[in-house]
Amino acid sequence: MALAFDHRNWGDSEGTPRQQEDATAKVADLRSAVGFLAGRPEVDAESIAVAGGVPGRDLCRTTRRVRPRVKAVALIAAAYNNPTLIRERFGADNFDVLMGQFAQIAQQQSDTGAVVYWPAVNPEGMPAGNPGPEPFAYYGTERGARPGWENRCTALSVLQELTLDVDAYLPLVTAPLLIVHGRGDHAVPVADAEAAFAKVAGPKELLVLDVSNHIDLYDDDTYVLPAVDRTVSFFDGSL
């Protein structure tokens, strides 16, 4: 049995404000999902594995709290947030300007009660949840279109994305961990995945595929199928 769900504030799930990233709430949602599965009569509560894509940080933060229920974890084309690296890549001055914008937005929302939204993807760059042409090529076109999809996210969601630090949680992941990443990933450089892999203390495997960009691992069978095969064999050997 497999369970897929939308986190609160997104998709078919309830919650407001809509299109709001909430890292703490997502951890609670993941823990609830594991608890739901463990309570199903057709599920072996001692053999639960979790697999996730981009929000690998949330799975890392979750698995240390639901261990020993989660017996194995697979992170595929995940992101490994590190504010220090993000600031370096934005440039210190640009990053500080952006933080100032978020402070103004927070004050505006406090004064008016109205939620400020940005595009979720923007090929021209900021402002956006995921700026640049590559995420737009998937989420902003028919390639990634899904019922109910809206190209917007709360502006303060982006603040969470830029300031969330997963590094402190990685050494606490003791469940067997598989990381699958793309060598040509420009959105999340393979060095980030390799650094995360090095910090994990438990049993672990790393598979690096020769993708040309981040979104190849979303829907290109050339890379998706090897990722799925490796994940299945990893789970079979870990459960």
Report pLDDT digits (tens) over 3-17.
Answer: 988 899 999 999 999
**Can you tell me which residue has the tokens 């994940």?**
231
Instruction: Give the residue carrying structure tokens 């709290």.
Output: 65
pLDDT band per the 50, 70, 90 thresholds, residue 202? confident
16 or 67: which leads in pLDDT: 16
- Nearest CA to 54 out of 156, 198, 181, 146 is that of 181
What pLDDT is stored for residue 60 in this prediction?
61
Checking if the pLDDT of 155 tops 90, the result is yes
Supply the pLDDT for residue 190.
96
**CA–CA gap between residue 75 and residue 200 (Å, rounded):** 13
The whole-number average pLDDT for the span 183-207 is 93
CA distance 107 to 127: 18
Is the model's pTM score more than 0.85? yes
Is the predicted pLDDT of residue 67 greater than 60, yes or no? no
pLDDT classification of 101: cutoffs 50, 70, 90:
very high
Query: CA-to-CA distance for 171 and 153, rounded, in angstroms?
Result: 31
| pLDDT band, residue 146 (cuts 50/70/90) | confident
